[in-house]
A and B are shown apart, each in its own frame.
Chain A
Amino acid sequence: MLLFLPELIILISALILFLVSLGTPSEKTLRNIVLCLTGLLLLVTLTCINNKGTLFFAAYQIDLYSQLFKLLIAAATFIVIVFSGNTPGIGQRIRAEYYMFLFTGLLGLMMLVSSVELLAIFISLELSSFALYIMVPMRQSSGAHDYHLESGIKYLLFGVMATGFMLFGMSYLFGLTGSTYLKDIIPSISYLYNQPAAVTGIIMVMAGFFYKLGLFPFHFWVPDIYEGAANETTSFVAAIPKLAAVALLIRLLAMVSVDGQILVNLLLLCSICSMFYGNLSALAQKDVKRILGYSGISHAGFILFGLLTFNLEGYSNALYYTIGYAAMTLTCFLTICAATPNGNNLKLEDLKGLHGRSPLLALTFALGLFSLAGIPPFVGFTGKLMILINAFKQGYVVPVILAALNTAIAIYYYLSMVRLAYCSDDSKESVMVSDGWSNKSLALLLVLFIITMGIFPTWFLDMAATVIGATV
């Protein structure tokens, strides 16, 4: 019972929100309820960090690894809830339902990081996806265009397709090994690395997670959903499902090893294409959320690149990078949400003169972007450095050079955002930013986190290595 406590709390929270949605709660009450529930969840995941055990016929594993990811997911969600404020992008009437779906999606993600059996993985993935399918179009209609409906449909169609691939791949894996448990599949499949059936099966299963991670060639939904969904929803989608997807990818990659040349090369190709595609496309964008979407694609490529060294160091680097990425993205989205109190999208020109309107938020935004661009001393740089060093040790010389070149391409669009925020004068019709004390302290906290993690990575890396070493 206690093992399942975080998930239970989410389930109960979702039910509470369902009951709340039946009435007509005031804006403030609803917000307080949600804040309390998320805070409680954060505390519970923190206390449950040392739980160990298995549930549901060993399909559900609770160990330090899964609990750490749950803590990260809960913390990230808490941050999103705090800075999304009154969720101006979501209509007042459906706000309670919105939060209910958010918690349902959260439940799916939490279950995902604990799942070690194909069906459990499938169910939790679907649970989280379906909640998000609904959350994306829940945006308040703002005048002429209904981007949110379009993006909702896109998200659904791509998601269903990715799931189809994944189920198909799972059937292959089951057919080849006769089991749905990862711990049985992994040893049996290790004899079949280069068999076409196994390669197809593994790639297709991974497709489901590549979709969540927004990795080339499963990236098509990313920019449209980032742009179409409400700012709060995008913040959630940008950071949190990625954590869960990485958790599962690390578990799944145990199926592959450096010996499986075809698979490794294929994945390497995906990762490099992801970086180039994301960075080159971002250069031409006008919408800040779209830019961050494309930048997310390239970062996903980097994360996969870290994983592809198939050693403990590589996995912990990737985990370190993912945590850092979540923090950097949330830092940027915090500014986006704060700079759009009316819930509209943030165009590039809306950034003009941000430093005049709110110096602290402009600085937060700039540091977040510099970190994403991989400028020292922030976590983005340290993460990239670790991944590149480790990849070099594995002999991936050309990919390392390509990845380094990507950093140079990326700097342009990050810099153009900083440039607008800092070096341009205020545009006439710019809206005020909402920088209350909660946003300010959160911004400070995130910036400190990014810098500390970047300058003193040892503790984080050691922790990641311990956690992963116990699992893989």
Chain B
Amino acid sequence: MDQHLVFSSFPILSTLIFLPLVAALIMLFVNSERYCKYISLCFTSVVAVLSLVLIVGFDTETTKFQFAEKAVWISSLDINYVVGIDGISILLVVMTALIMPFCILASWSYIKLRVKAFLICLMVMETAMIGVFVALDFILFYVLWEAMLIPMYLIIGIWGGPRKIYASVKFFLYTLAGSILLLVAIIWLYWQNEYSFFIPDMMWHHYALGSQILVFIAFFLAFAIKVPMFPFHTWLPAAHVEAPTAGSVILASILLKMGTYGFLRFALPIVPDATYQLMPFVLWLSIAGIIYGGFTALAQNDMKKLIAYSSVGHMGFVTLGIFILNKQGIEGAILQMINHGVTTGALFLCVGMIYERTHSRELSMAAGVGKYMPIFVTFLTFFSLASLGFPGTNSFVGEFMILAGTFQFDIEAGRFPWLALAAIPGALLAAAYMLRMLQRIIWGGVDNPDQSWIKDINAREIVILAPFLFFVLWIGLSPGPFLDLIDASVTDLLQNLTMHRTHSLSLNLMAPY
């Protein structure tokens, strides 16, 4: 086990995981809602600052898991508390830690009822989310993956919109049903690997192809529902629309990434042969998601629904990038995961700000607010352009890399680039629905409702949005530092994949037919 890990002297990952939980425990005994807000803001900010230490101390040369920690948890089954990060997870961990303070700020005046309970739910969510990205023991991963459902269910179910009950139950059932077979697959892998739950131990084995395909299907169900890939996406619009702003941001920016992270961390290295076998299906499902998400978003009048469907399309790009299995594709996919987190998170925050003023998510109700909210629409324009992949913004880099990777994939396979051509309309559709939304919100038409009483965003809201804009432009103009962080791990992943592929093929050749 230890050959995969680089231990650190200070348990920084555990600190990141458990600090929010400590905050939740403290808040249990604090009665004042005001103090609860400050406590949660304070703790999440500390976590956010601490997470930057990861970036500073990260070694971009090694492909091992860094900042690792290990402790025995359930000895009789060899279940351990093992955590560590590599290039695939580092950006996700840091993004999670950085977004949480803004979720608290965004709920500052939005949540009026039972504030303390809401903040406790957010804190528990943060613990589980960071834990999912750093867990290196499959049971630890599964426990956090499932435990996350409870606070998220409550966030949607208690503080959500009018159809919150339907949305929360659908979210819970979908996600849980998807991950049930994941547990069986985990136990199967444990049994195959001489009773070890350590994730790196499970990678790059030559399991029988039949079992690999079954395990892949179990993985696929769990992760594709979380992403969500077409046709498993139907829980997403409901959940996004009904959740409070902070809930939507967490869902879009972090929870969806767990699905794609799951593909990268588990599906590719643990069942590589099945990945190669089933890759075409996943790729065409991604294309279907891109096109479907784009067209559906084009028809929405509810802003949150529009962004939710755009997420389906964007996440389609991410899964496309992952499963073309080349360097540009996977690096683009990881970068696009971050980009989607930043831009969609920011867009949901923007919609939340309008909703706080007009108490409606309808496009028609928000039509023409540009006249009275100039600062707001400036931000909104940047984020919308980023979302549609305008050059100079972050999504352009990610989508460009993915599309370039897709072309390369087609060309290497020696055929006409059908796949890449099929994905291109997705980018066009994104421009169409985003510009449509922008046009309505900024200018509207002749029949705009009276918006003259609306105040522009205040200092707190500017503080919330500004960092997102910063990252939109930074990643858009200079993605180098981010790609450096993930490069070593992705290269290693692809090398192993190729080696494994060659090996499997040679084994097949030697089989006595």
The 8 Å CB contact of B184, one of A393, A404, A422, is: A404
A422 touches B187 (CB 8 A): no
B contact residues around A377 at 8 Å (CB): 143, 147
B169 touches A375 (CB 8 A): no
B176 touches A411 (CB 8 A): yes
B278 on the interface (CB 8 Å rule)?
no
B74 touches A415 (CB 8 A): no
A434-472 CB contact bits vs B (8 Å, 1 = yes)? 000000000000000000000001100110000000000
A400 touches B184 (CB 8 A): yes
A375 touches B139 (CB 8 A): no
A424 on the interface (CB 8 Å rule)?
yes
How far apart are the CA atoms of A405 and B77 in the complex, in Å? 23
Q: List 27 A-B contacts (CB under 8 A).
A: A375-B150, A376-B143, A376-B146, A376-B147, A377-B147, A381-B146, A388-B184, A388-B187, A389-B77, A389-B187, A392-B190, A401-B181, A404-B180, A411-B176, A415-B153, A415-B169, A415-B173, A416-B169, A419-B165, A419-B168, A422-B157, A423-B164, A423-B165, A457-B74, A458-B74, A458-B76, A461-B74
A contact residues around B164 at 8 Å (CB): 423
B contact residues around A370 at 8 Å (CB): 150
A381-411 CB contact bits vs B (8 Å, 1 = yes)? 1000110110011000100110011011001
- Output the least CB separation between A281 and chain B (Å): 19
User: Looking at chain B's contact residues, is the secondary structure mostly helix, strand, loop, or mixed?
Assistant: helix
* Residues of chain B in range 59-94 having any CB-CB distance to chain A below 8 Å: 73-77
Q: A388-B187, A393-B191 are in contact. Are A461 and B76 (CB under 8 A)?
A: yes
How far apart are the CA atoms of A412 and B172 in the complex, in Å? 9
How far apart are the CA atoms of A376 and B153 in the complex, in Å? 14
A contact residues around B176 at 8 Å (CB): 375, 408, 411
A contact residues around B418 at 8 Å (CB): none
The 8 Å CB contact of A375, one of B77, B149, B157, is: B149
How far apart are the CA atoms of A375 and B147 in the complex, in Å? 6
User: Looking at chain A's contact residues, is the secondary structure mostly helix, strand, loop, or mixed?
Assistant: helix
List A residues at the B interface (Cβ < 8 Å): 313, 355, 359, 370, 375-377, 381, 385-386, 388-389, 392-393, 397, 400-401, 404-405, 407-408, 411-412, 415-416, 418-419, 422-424, 457-458, 461-462
B139-155 CB contact bits vs A (8 Å, 1 = yes)? 10011101101100110
A contact residues around B74 at 8 Å (CB): 457-458, 461
B142 touches A376 (CB 8 A): yes
Q: A389-B190, A419-B169, A423-B168 are in contact. Are A458 and B75 (CB under 8 A)?
A: yes
B191 touches A392 (CB 8 A): yes
- Output the least CB separation between B83 and chain A (Å): 16
B187 touches A411 (CB 8 A): no
B181-207 CB contact bits vs A (8 Å, 1 = yes)? 101100110110000000000000000
B149 nearest in chain A by CB position: A375
Listed residue (A405, A418, A423) with the most chain B CB atoms within 10 angstroms of its CB? A423
- Output the least CB separation between B258 and chain A (Å): 15
A415 touches B172 (CB 8 A): yes
A458 nearest in chain B by CB position: B74
* Residues of chain B in range 180-237 having any CB-CB distance to chain A below 8 Å: 180-181, 183-184, 187-188, 190-191
A423 touches B184 (CB 8 A): no
A contact residues around B142 at 8 Å (CB): 376
The 8 Å CB contact of B139, one of A385, A405, A419, is: A385
A385 touches B157 (CB 8 A): no
Q: A412-B173, A457-B74 are in contact. Are A401 and B184 (CB under 8 A)?
A: yes
How far apart are the CA atoms of A393 and B193 in the complex, in Å? 12
B353 on the interface (CB 8 Å rule)?
no
B187 touches A405 (CB 8 A): no
B177 on the interface (CB 8 Å rule)?
yes
B22 on the interface (CB 8 Å rule)?
no
B281-315 CB contact bits vs A (8 Å, 1 = yes)? 00000000000000000000000000000000000
A contact residues around B73 at 8 Å (CB): 458
How far apart are the CA atoms of A359 and B149 in the complex, in Å? 20
B158 on the interface (CB 8 Å rule)?
yes
B contact residues around A416 at 8 Å (CB): 169
A contact residues around B157 at 8 Å (CB): 419, 422-423
- Output the least CB separation between A330 and chain B (Å): 21
B contact residues around A389 at 8 Å (CB): 77, 187, 190
A contact residues around B183 at 8 Å (CB): 385, 388, 404
How far apart are the CA atoms of A31 and B322 in the complex, in Å? 66
The 8 Å CB contact of A400, one of B165, B168, B187, is: B187
10 further interface pairs, Cβ-Cβ under 8 Å (given A375-B146, A376-B144, A422-B157): A375-B149, A385-B139, A404-B183, A404-B184, A408-B177, A419-B157, A423-B158, A458-B73, A458-B75, A461-B76
A411 touches B172 (CB 8 A): yes
B contact residues around A404 at 8 Å (CB): 180-181, 183-184
B154 touches A422 (CB 8 A): yes
B150 touches A381 (CB 8 A): no
A391 nearest in chain B by CB position: B187
- Output the least CB separation between A74 and chain B (Å): 28
B144 nearest in chain A by CB position: A376
B contact residues around A375 at 8 Å (CB): 146-147, 149-150, 176
A389 nearest in chain B by CB position: B187
How far apart are the CA atoms of A381 and B77 in the complex, in Å? 15
